[in-house]
C-alpha cells in the first residue's frame, strides 16, 4: 500500500509540476475513521494529501464531467469502466484526461462493521486486518469479512483504461456462477420479492445521493426533476420511490458499471444495487454485454440484432 | 424526582390509549421514531435516530389542501388534521431543533398552521444521551448530552428508573398524572450530576463565526469548499433544522391536492426562475448559502445558530464533506480586504 | 381557527385578455366573489399575490391594479412555465385561487410631497401601473408632485395597457414618455433604450424618487444614468423577482442574505440592496 | 380519454379493467383501426395512446401509467423488420425485454404489462391481443401493484 501511495503522489507531483494537468482528482483521509474523501489537488505541494487504501469508496469518475480543465484521475477498475462509458457517450474529452490506474482490492462496507461495533470511534488497517474501536465494542475484522458486497463479486478490479498503472495487478476472482446474488432473488416467490422491494423503497427519502454519486447520471435534467411532464411528485411513498429507482435502473441499462457507489452513498441503506444488478444480469444474458470494457463495443441498448430474444411477447 | 421504569411504563401504556405515542424503535438498518402502543416496544439503548424527528411536525410530504374542479367551478378543502401526540425519547439536539423550527414557522407576519397545530398538540419527552457518537458536537452549540431545552418533560436514564423533570407547563400537567414519583438517592443524584456534566468529545468553535461570516460572502474560501459536494440532499434531509420546502400539485382528472414536500438548497432547481435565471446556479453559491443560512442569516433573523450538532449530516454525507471542518475552515479563512 | 395563509380565496376570472402582439402576455381580470373576501384583501401598489391554476399549481405575480379600482384585481402575466401557460389557456368564468396580498409595497407615504419618476421596461410594468393609477386617483393626486412615467418596450406591440397609455398621453396630471428599441412604422414617439431616454429626459433629482422595474440588464444600465442625474441610492426603488413557493418567508428559496424577498420585499431601495449580498 | 370510455357499462358491477395501449402509428394503430373498420369485436378496455414508433416508448410511460392507476398496459409496434423507421422496433425490443424482466423482478404481476407486434393488416389479431390482455388483466383484478400510488398522488401531466 505504502509504495502505491508513494507512486501515486510521485505521479501526481510530476503531472502538476510539468503542468500536464490542472488538477489531480484523488482521495485524501476523511474526517471519520475508515472514510476517505475525494480531493482535488491543484499544486505539487499538496500531493502528499493523496492516499490510497480500502476506504477509497467513491467513484471519482462522477467528478470528471463537471471539473473543468485538464485533469488526472485516480481510477480503480470500476472508475475506469465509468470513464470508458463517459468517453463512449461523448461526455469527456479523452485528451483532457490522464488516468492513473490502480488495481483495487475492494472497499470496506462500514455498515457491516457498525452492525457489530456500533459507531466507529477509531480504526486502523494493517495487512488486511482492520482493528476497530467501536462505541459498543472493539473488534478486529479480516478485510474479506467486511468487503463491500459489490467488490466481493468484482470481475474487473484492474483498470480497463489507463495512462499509467500504479502497483501490481490483482488476480481476478473466478466465479462459478455470475450474478449468484440476483439468482437468489429471482428464486424467491413473487410476493417475497414484492415485499422485499416494498420494504427497501419505503426507506428511500429521495435525497438523490444515489443519482448524484453515480458517474453515469449526468443528465442535464433528470426525469425526477422534470416538471412537464411531471413523472414524480415529491411524494415519498414506496410506490413512487420504486418508480424513481426502477426508472433510474432502466436508464442505466447497459451503462451501469457496477461500482456500487449508489448503495454505499445511500444514507438510508436502501438496496439500490438489487435493481441494477438484475438489469445487468439481463443485459449480460440477453445481449452478452458488459458496459465500459472497450471503447469499440457499443452499449447494449444502442445496437440490436435481428434475433434478439422476444420471449416476453404476448402469446396471441 | 425519579420514577421506576415499571411505573413509568404503566403510565406510558395508559397514555398510548389517549395519545398517539411516537417513540424510538429498532428497524431495518437503525433506529427510527414510530407509533407505538406499549412501552416494551420502545428501544431503550440507542444513540439517536437515523432521521431527525422533525417530520412529526413537518412531514416530508403533506397535503395542504385538496380540491375538486367541476366545469369552471372549484371547491377547496383544508387538509389540516392533527392528533394529540406524545413524542418520546427525543434527544437534546433534536429537542433544540424543535425550538429552532418554531422560529422558522412563525415570523413577524405569518404563523404556519400545519406546523403549529401539530406542535401545539404534542408533548415532547426528551431523554439524555448516555453514549456520545464521534460525530456528535452539540456541546459546541450551547447544548449538552443532557440539556433539556425543547423538551416538555426530560428524563435521565438511571438503569431501572428515570430521573424525571417537568420543563414546561404541559410537562408539569402530564407529570402530575404520573404515579410512583420518588426522591433520588444520593448515589443516584451523583450519577445524574455526572451525566449532566458530560460533553461531546468532538468540538468546534462557533463563538465568532457569525460576525466572521458577515464579511465572507465574497471570500475565496468558498471557491474550493464545494468541489466534492454532489448536490444531493442527504445533509438537508437529515438535518433537524433544515426546513426548506416545495409546494406542488398532485392531480388526477378533476381532483387534486396541493402538497408540500421537503426541498433543499443543495439542488440547483431550488432557486431556478421561470425565466431561466438562477441566482444560485453554482455549487459554490449553494454551499455558501447552506453555511450562511445556518451560521449567519438565521442568527440575524432568529438570534440563534441553526445547527444543533447532531452530526447526522456528517454521518450521511456520501463524500464526507464534514460541516465541522467547514466551520474550522471559516474560522481560519483569511478575510479579504477590499 | 386562525386564518390559514396557505388556503387561497376563490376568485372568478372574468376577463382573459391578450396584451401584446407576440401573444405572450395576458392580463387576467379577477372578480371577488363576495364583499368579505374583498375587505380581507387590502393591498397597496407593489404587492403581489400567489395565483392558483388548480390542477397546475401556484405562482407569484405582482398585482397590476390599484386599490382604488374596487371589485377586481388584475395580473399581467408572461407565458413562461406550467402555471402561466395554464392561466393563458383558461376560459373566462373559471374559478382560480388567490393567496395574498403578500410582500411590502412602494413607500407611498415617503413619496408624499415628492416628484416621482417611474421607469419601466417590458412586461415588468404591472406594479408600476398600479402605483401610477393609485397616485392619479383624485383622492391621492394632490399628495404627490410631478409624476413622470418612462416606459419602454422592444416594439410598440409589446407595450402593455395601450388604451390607458393613450389616455395618460393627454392627461395633464401625468407626464408619459414611451419609447421603443428600434424605429417602427407609425411610431412617432421616442426611440431608444430606456437608459438613453432617461438620460435625455433628465428628470431632476431634487425632491424626487425614482422607481425602476424591468429586465435586469435594463436596471443595470439605468442605475448609473440616475446616479449621474444626482439620484442617491436612497432615492431609487426597485421591485425584485425571485422563485417563490410559500410567499410567507418560510420555504427558504427567495432569500437574499437574511432577507426574504416574499416577505421583506419585493420592493427595496438601492440603498437597502447595497447592504445585501449580490445574489439575485 | 379516448374512444372506448363511453362504452364502459357502469351499471354492471363486473370489473372492467382500464388498459393503456401505446400503439405505434404505422402498424399497431392502423391494425386497431382495421379492427374497428372490420367490426371485429374486442373488449372496450383499452385507452389508446398513439406513438410515432414503438422505439419512442420510454419505460417511464409504462411506470407512470401504473402509478396513475391503469390496471394494465399494452404496448404494440410493427413486427421486426417492418419498422417505418427501419430499426425503431429492434431497439425497442431490447428495452422491452429488460423492462418486462425488471418489472416482474420487483413484484409486478405477470400479465399487467404486455408487449406485442401487430401489423396494419392484422385487425383480427389486434382484437385477439386485446381480448387476451383483457382476460389476463381482469383475472388479476384492479391495479394494487407496486407502482400504484396509494394516496392518489398521481399527476395528469
Candidates D57, A231, A247, D41; CA nearest to D20 is D57
Alpha helices per DSSP H over chain B = 5-18, 92-104, 113-120, 169-176, 186-196, 209-214, 221-225, 234-237, 283-292, 298-302, 312-316, 323-332
How far from C201 is each of C149, C172, C194, C236, CA to CA, in Å?
Answer: 11, 17, 10, 17
Residues on chain C touching B109 (C-beta within 8 angstroms):
248-249, 263
pLDDT level of residue C2 (50, 70, 90 thresholds): low
List all chains that touch chain A, counting a touch as 3 or more CB pairs closer than 8 Å.
B, C, D
List all chains that touch chain D, counting a touch as 3 or more CB pairs closer than 8 Å.
A, B
C-alpha distance from A105 to closest chain B C-alpha (Å): 20
Q: Which residue of C has its CA nearest to A229?
A: C82
**DSSP one-letter string for chain D:** --TTGGG--SSS-S----EEEEEETTTHHHHHHHHHHTT----TTEEEEEES-GGG--HHHHHHHHHTT-SEEEEEEPPTT--TTSSHHHHHHHHHHHHHHHHHHTTPPTTSEEEEE--TT-HHHHHHHHHHHHHHHHHH-S---TT--TT---B--
Contact D153 B257 (CB under 8 A): yes
The predicted pLDDT at position A236 comes to 81
Candidates B233, B241, B289; CA nearest to C258 is B289
C-alpha distance from D29 to closest chain A C-alpha (Å): 17
The predicted pLDDT at position D135 comes to 95
Q: Which residue of C has its CA nearest to A228?
A: C82
CB of B151 within 8 A of CB of B167?
yes
* Domain ranges (residues) in chain B: 2-60+81-196, 209-332
Residue B289 has pLDDT above 60, yes or no: yes
Q: Which 23-82 residues of chain C touch chain A by CB within 8 A? A: 81-82
- Cβ of residue B277 closer than 8 Å to a chain C Cβ: yes
A251 within domain boundaries: yes
Cβ-based burial of A235 (10 A; exposed 0-12, middle 13-18, buried ≥19)? buried
Candidates D3, D51, D40; CA nearest to D121 is D40
Size of interface B-C (CB pairs under 8 A): 129
d(CA B24, CA B54): 13
The predicted pLDDT at position C278 comes to 84
C-alpha distance from C205 to closest chain B C-alpha (Å): 30
d(CA C85, CA B84): 42
Residues on chain D touching A309 (C-beta within 8 angstroms):
97
A77 within domain boundaries: yes
C-alpha cell at A193: 420479492
Contact D153 A240 (CB under 8 A): yes
The predicted pLDDT at position B338 comes to 63
The model's pLDDT over B23-75, given as tens digits with 9 standing for 90+, comes to 999 887 689 999 999 999 999 888 999 999 999 999 999 999 999 999 899 99
C-alpha cell at C270: 438601492
The predicted pLDDT at position B298 comes to 95
Instruction: Provide the whole-model pTM.
Output: 0.91
The model's pLDDT over C194-238, given as tens digits with 9 standing for 90+, comes to 999 998 888 888 999 999 999 888 998 999 999 999 999 999 999
- Cβ of residue B257 closer than 8 Å to a chain D Cβ: yes
Contact A265 B248 (CB under 8 A): no
d(CA B86, CA B153): 11
Query: A-side interface with C, Cβ within 8 Å?
Result: 227-228
The predicted pLDDT at position D143 comes to 87
- Cβ of residue D147 closer than 8 Å to a chain A Cβ: yes
List chain D residues with pLDDT less than 50.
Answer: 1-10, 152-153, 157
Residue in D63, D90, D129 to test binding to A, most A beta-carbons within 10 Å? D63
CB contact set of D49 (below 8 Å; sequence gap of 6+): D2, D20, D21, D22, D23, D61
C-alpha distance from B260 to closest chain D C-alpha (Å): 12
Q: Which residue of D has its CA nearest to B257?
A: D153
Q: Are residues A208 and A89 in the same domain?
A: no
What is the rounded average pLDDT for all residues in chain A? 93
Give just the sign of the alpha carbon dihedral C265, C266, C267, C271.
positive
- Cβ of residue A63 closer than 8 Å to a chain B Cβ: yes
**DSSP one-letter string for A49-114:** GEE-STT--S-THHHHTTS-SSEEEEE-HHHHHHHHHHHHTT-S-GGGEEEEEE-----B-HHHHH
Backbone angles phi, psi at B252, to 5 degrees: -130, 125
> A169 is in which domain, residue-wise?
1-106+156-174
Q: Which residues belong to CATH 2.40.30.10 in chain C?
A: 9-101
d(CA B99, CA B54): 11
* Closest CB from A30, A199, A212 relative to B28: A199
Higher pLDDT, B213 or B30: B213
C-alpha distance from B120 to closest chain C C-alpha (Å): 13
Contact A121 B51 (CB under 8 A): no
**Which residues make beta-bridge pairs with C96?**
C11
| A20 phi-psi bin (left φ>0, alpha ψ -120 to 50, beta other) | alpha
Q: Does domain D16-140 have CATH number 3.40.50.960?
A: yes
The predicted pLDDT at position A177 comes to 86
List all chains that touch chain C, counting a touch as 3 or more CB pairs closer than 8 Å.
A, B
pLDDT level of residue C153 (50, 70, 90 thresholds): very high
Residue D10's CB is within 10 A of a number of other CB atoms, namely 6
C-alpha distance from C6 to closest chain A C-alpha (Å): 18
A151 within domain boundaries: no
Backbone angles phi, psi at A11, to 5 degrees: -60, -45
Q: Are residues A186 and A274 in the same domain?
A: yes
* Closest CB from A135, A234, A236 relative to B131: A135
A115 within domain boundaries: yes
Between the CA atoms of A158, A162, A164 and A166, what dihedral angle is there, to the nearest 10 degrees?
Answer: -20
C-alpha distance from D83 to closest chain A C-alpha (Å): 12
Candidates B191, B90, B93, B87; CA nearest to B145 is B93
Contact C93 B72 (CB under 8 A): yes
C-alpha distance from A121 to closest chain B C-alpha (Å): 6
The model's pLDDT over A260-296, given as tens digits with 9 standing for 90+, comes to 999 999 999 999 999 999 999 999 999 999 999 999 9
Beta-strand pair C208-213/C236-239: parallel
The predicted pLDDT at position A226 comes to 86
Q: Are residues A191 and A222 in the same domain?
A: yes
Residues on chain B touching C81 (C-beta within 8 angstroms):
274
Residues on chain A touching C81 (C-beta within 8 angstroms):
227
Contact B250 D155 (CB under 8 A): yes
CB of A276 within 8 A of CB of A249?
yes
Residue C27 has pLDDT above 50, yes or no: yes
C-alpha cell at B27: 428497524
d(CA D49, CA B336): 61
Beta-strand pair D72-77/D113-117: parallel
Tell me what the mean pLDDT of segment B182-200 comes to.
91
Architecture of domain C9-101: Beta Barrel (2.40)
Residue C147 has pLDDT above 70, yes or no: yes
Residues on chain D touching B259 (C-beta within 8 angstroms):
153
d(CA A5, CA B326): 26
The predicted pLDDT at position C273 comes to 92
Candidates C243, C232, C217, C230; CA nearest to C274 is C232
How far from A263 is each of A52, A150, C94, C181, D30, CA to CA, in Å?
Answer: 21, 9, 48, 56, 45
pLDDT level of residue B250 (50, 70, 90 thresholds): confident
d(CA C275, CA C272): 5
Residue A1 has pLDDT above 70, yes or no: no
Q: Which residues belong to CATH 3.40.50.80 in chain C?
A: 108-207
Q: Which residue has the cell 431616454?
A: C197
**Terminal alpha carbon distance of chain C:** 37
CB of B49 within 8 A of CB of B129?
no
What is the rounded average pLDDT for all residues in chain C? 92
Helix axes C194-201, C216-228, angle to 10 degrees: 20
pLDDT level of residue C123 (50, 70, 90 thresholds): confident
Tell me what the mean pLDDT of segment A198-222 comes to.
93
Burial C112-143 (b: 16+ CB within 10 A, else e): eeebbbbbbbbbbbbbbbbbbbbbbeeeeeee
Residues on chain C touching A227 (C-beta within 8 angstroms):
81-82
d(CA B267, CA B274): 16
A287 within domain boundaries: yes
CB of D78 within 8 A of CB of D84?
yes
Q: Which residue of D has its CA nearest to A312?
A: D97
The model's pLDDT over A100-150, given as tens digits with 9 standing for 90+, comes to 999 999 999 999 999 999 899 999 999 889 999 999 899 999 999 999 999
* Closest CB from C7, C249, C257 relative to B78: C7
* Closest CB from C7, C8, C80 relative to B274: C80
Contact B231 A212 (CB under 8 A): yes
C-alpha distance from C136 to closest chain B C-alpha (Å): 30
Contact B251 D156 (CB under 8 A): yes
Higher pLDDT, B28 or B245: B245
What is the rounded average pLDDT for all residues in chain B? 92
Q: Which residue of C has its CA nearest to B268?
A: C253
pLDDT level of residue C100 (50, 70, 90 thresholds): confident
* Closest CB from D99, D103, D149 relative to A240: D149
C-alpha distance from C112 to closest chain B C-alpha (Å): 26
List all chains that touch chain B, counting a touch as 3 or more CB pairs closer than 8 Å.
A, C, D
Q: Are residues A142 and A255 in the same domain?
A: no
What stretch of H or E contains A116? helix A110-117
**Which residues make beta-bridge pairs with B117?**
none
C-alpha distance from A276 to closest chain D C-alpha (Å): 9
The predicted pLDDT at position D2 comes to 34
Candidates B28, B217, B192, B100; CA nearest to A111 is B28
C-alpha cell at D75: 404496448
Architecture of domain C108-207: 3-Layer(aba) Sandwich (3.40)
Q: Which 207-266 residues of chain B touch chain C by CB within 8 A? A: 217, 243-249, 251, 254, 256, 258, 260, 263, 265
Cβ-based burial of A67 (10 A; exposed 0-12, middle 13-18, buried ≥19)? middle
Contact B237 A135 (CB under 8 A): no
Amino acid at each position: 500500500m505504502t509504495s502505491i501511495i508513494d507512486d501515486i503522489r510521485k505521479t501526481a507531483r510530476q503531472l502538476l509540476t510539468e503542468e500536464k494537468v490542472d488538477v489531480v482528482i484523488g482521495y485524501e483521509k476523511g474526517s471519520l475513521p475508515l472514510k476517505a474523501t475525494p480531493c482535488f489537488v491543484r499544486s505539487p505541494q499538496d500531493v502528499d494529501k493523496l492516499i490510497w487504501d480500502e476506504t477509497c469508496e467513491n467513484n471519482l469518475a462522477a467528478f470528471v464531467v463537471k471539473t473543468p480543465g485538464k485533469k488526472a484521475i485516480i481510477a480503480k477498475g470500476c472508475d475506469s469502466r465509468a470513464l470508458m462509458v463517459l468517453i463512449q457517450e461523448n461526455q469527456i474529452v479523452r485528451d483532457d484526461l490522464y488516468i492513473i490506474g490502480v488495481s483495487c482490492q475492494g472497499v470496506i462496507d462500514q455498515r457491516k462493521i457498525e452492525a457489530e461495533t456500533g459507531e466507529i470511534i477509531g480504526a486502523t488497517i494493517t495487512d488486511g486486518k482492520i482493528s476497530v474501536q467501536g462505541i459498543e465494542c472493539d473488534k478486529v475484522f479480516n478485510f474479506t469479512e467486511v468487503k463491500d458486497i459489490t467488490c466481493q463479486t468484482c470481475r474487473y478490479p484492474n483498470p480497463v483504461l489507463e495512462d499509467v498503472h500504479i502497483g501490481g495487478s490483482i488476480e481476478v476472482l473466478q466465479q462459478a456462477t455470475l450474478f449468484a446474488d440476483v439468482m437468489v432473488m429471482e428464486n424467491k416467490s413473487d410476493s417475497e420479492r414484492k415485499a422485499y422491494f416494498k420494504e427497501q423503497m419505503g426507506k428511500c427519502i429521495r435525497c438523490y445521493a444515489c443519482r448524484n454519486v453515480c458517474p453515469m447520471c449526468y443528465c442535464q435534467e433528470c426525469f425526477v426533476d422534470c416538471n412537464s411532464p411531471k413523472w414524480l411528485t415529491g411524494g415519498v411513498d414506496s410506490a413512487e420511490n420504486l418508480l424513481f429507482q426502477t426508472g433510474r435502473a432502466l436508464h442505466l441499462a447497459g451503462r451501469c458499471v457496477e461500482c456500487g457507489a449508489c448503495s454505499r452513498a445511500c444514507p438510508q441503506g436502501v438496496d439500490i444495487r438489487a435493481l441494477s444488478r438484475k438489469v445487468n444480469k439481463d443485459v449480460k444474458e440477453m445481449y452478452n454485454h458488459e458496459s465500459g470494457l472497450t471503447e469499440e463495443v457499443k452499449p447494449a441498448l444502442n445496437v440490436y440484432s435481428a434475433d434478439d430474444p422476444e420471449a416476453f411477447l404476448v402469446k396471441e | 424526582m425519579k420514577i421506576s421504569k415499571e411505573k413509568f411504563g404503566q403510565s406510558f401504556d395508559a397514555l398510548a390509549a389517549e395519545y398517539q405515542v411516537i417513540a424510538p424503535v429498532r428497524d431495518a438498518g437503525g433506529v427510527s421514531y414510530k407509533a407505538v402502543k406499549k412501552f416494551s416496544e420502545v428501544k431503550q439503548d440507542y444513540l439517536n435516530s437515523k432521521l431527525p424527528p422533525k417530520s412529526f411536525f413537518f412531514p416530508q410530504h403533506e397535503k395542504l389542501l385538496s380540491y375538486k374542479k367541476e366545469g369552471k367551478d372549484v371547491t377547496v378543502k383544508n387538509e389540516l388534521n392533527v392528533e394529540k401526540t406524545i413524542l418520546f425519547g427525543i434527544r437534546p439536539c433534536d429537542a433544540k431543533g424543535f425550538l429552532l423550527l418554531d422560529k422558522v414557522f412563525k415570523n413577524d407576519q405569518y404563523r404556519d398552521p400545519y406546523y403549529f397545530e401539530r406542535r401545539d398538540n404534542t408533548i415532547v419527552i426528551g431523554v439524555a444521551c448516555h453514549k456520545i457518537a464521534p460525530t456528535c458536537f452539540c456541546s459546541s452549540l450551547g447544548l449538552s448530552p443532557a440539556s433539556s431545552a425543547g423538551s416538555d418533560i426530560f428524563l435521565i436514564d438511571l438503569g431501572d428508573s428515570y430521573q424525571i423533570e417537568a420543563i414546561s407547563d404541559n410537562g408539569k400537567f402530564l407529570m402530575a398524572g404520573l404515579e410512583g414519583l420518588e426522591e433520588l438517592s444520593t448515589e443516584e443524584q451523583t450519577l445524574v450530576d455526572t451525566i449532566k456534566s458530560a460533553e461531546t468529545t468532538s468540538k468546534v468553535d462557533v463563538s465568532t463565526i457569525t460576525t466572521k461570516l458577515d464579511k465572507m460572502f465574497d471570500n475565496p474560501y468558498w471557491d474550493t469548499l464545494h468541489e466534492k459536494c454532489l448536490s444531493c440532499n442527504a445533509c438537508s434531509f437529515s438535518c433537524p433544522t433544515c426546513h426548506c420546502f416545495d409546494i406542488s400539485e398532485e392531480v388526477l382528472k378533476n381532483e387534486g391536492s396541493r402538497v408540500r414536500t421537503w426541498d433543499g438548497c443543495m439542488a440547483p432547481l431550488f432557486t431556478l426562475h421561470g425565466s431561466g435565471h438562477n441566482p444560485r446556479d453554482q455549487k459554490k453559491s449553494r454551499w455558501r448559502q447552506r453555511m450562511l443560512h445556518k451560521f449567519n442569516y438565521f442568527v440575524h433573523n432568529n438570534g440563534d445558530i441553526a445547527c444543533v450538532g447532531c452530526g447526522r449530516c456528517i454521518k450521511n454525507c456520501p463524500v464526507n464533506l464534514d460541516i465541522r471542518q467547514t466551520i474550522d475552515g471559516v474560522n481560519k479563512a483569511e478575510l479579504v480586504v477590499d | 381557527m386562525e386564518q390559514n395563509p396557505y388556503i387561497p380565496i376563490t376568485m372568478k376570472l372574468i376577463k382573459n385578455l391578450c396584451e401584446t402582439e407576440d401573444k405572450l402576455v395576458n392580463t387576467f381580470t379577477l372578480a371577488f366573489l363576495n364583499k368579505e373576501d374583498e375587505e380581507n384583501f387590502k393591498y397597496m401598489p407593489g404587492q403581489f399575490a400567489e395565483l392558483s391554476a388548480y390542477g397546475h399549481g401556484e405562482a407569484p405575480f405582482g398585482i397590476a391594479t390599484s386599490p382604488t379600482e374596487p371589485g377586481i384585481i388584475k395580473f399581467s402575466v408572461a407565458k413562461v412555465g406550467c402555471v402561466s401557460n395554464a392561466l393563458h389557456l383558461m376560459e373566462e368564468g373559471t374559478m382560480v385561487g388567490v393567496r395574498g396580498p403578500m410582500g411590502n409595497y412602494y413607500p407611498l407615504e415617503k413619496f408624499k410631497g415628492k416628484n416621482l419618476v417611474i421607469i419601466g421596461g417590458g412586461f415588468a410594468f404591472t406594479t408600476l401601473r398600479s402605483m401610477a393609477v393609485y397616485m392619479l386617483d383624485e383622492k391621492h393626486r394632490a399628495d404627490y408632485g410631478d409624476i413622470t412615467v418612462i416606459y419602454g418596450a422592444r416594439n410598440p406591440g409589446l407595450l402593455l395597457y395601450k388604451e390607458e397609455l393613450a389616455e395618460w398621453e393627454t392627461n395633464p396630471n401625468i407626464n408619459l414618455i414611451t419609447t421603443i428599441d428600434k424605429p417602427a412604422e407609425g411610431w412617432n414617439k421616442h426611440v431608444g433604450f430606456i437608459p438613453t431616454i432617461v438620460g435625455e429626459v433628465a428628470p431632476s433629482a431634487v425632491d424626487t424618487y425614482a422607481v425602476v422595474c424591468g429586465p435586469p440588464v435594463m436596471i443595470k444600465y439605468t442605475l448609473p444614468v440616475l446616479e449621474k442625474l444626482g439620484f442617491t441610492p436612497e432615492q431609487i426603488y426597485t421591485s425584485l423577482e425571485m422563485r417563490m413557493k410559500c410567499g410567507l418567508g418560510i420555504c427558504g428559496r427567495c432569500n437574499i442574505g437574511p432577507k426574504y424577498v416574499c416577505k421583506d420585499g419585493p420592493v427595496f431601495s438601492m440603498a437597502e440592496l447595497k447592504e445585501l449580498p449580490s445574489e439575485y | 380519454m379516448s374512444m372506448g370510455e363511453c362504452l364502459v357499462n357502469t351499471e354492471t358491477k363486473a370489473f372492467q379493467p382500464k388498459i393503456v395501449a401505446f400503439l405505434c402509428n404505422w402498424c399497431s394503430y392502423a391494425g386497431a383501426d382495421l379492427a374497428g373498420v372490420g367490426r371485429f369485436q374486442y373488449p372496450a378496455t383499452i385507452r389508446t395512446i398513439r406513438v410515432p414508433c414503438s422505439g419512442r416508448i420510454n419505460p417511464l410511460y409504462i411506470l407512470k401509467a401504473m402509478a396513475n392507476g391503469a390496471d394494465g398496459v399494452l404496448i404494440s409496434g410493427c413486427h421486426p423488420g417492418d419498422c417505418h423507421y427501419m430499426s425503431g422496433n429492434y431497439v425497442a425490443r431490447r428495452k422491452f425485454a429488460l423492462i418486462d424482466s425488471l418489472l416482474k423482478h420487483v413484484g409486478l404481476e405477470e400479465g399487467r404489462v404486455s408487449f406485442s407486434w401487430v401489423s396494419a393488416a392484422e385487425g383480427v389479431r389486434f382484437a385477439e391481443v386485446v381480448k387476451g390482455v383483457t382476460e389476463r388483466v381482469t383475472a388479476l383484478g384492479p391495479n394494487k401493484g407496486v407502482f400504484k400510488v396509494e394516496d392518489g398522488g398521481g399527476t395528469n401531466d
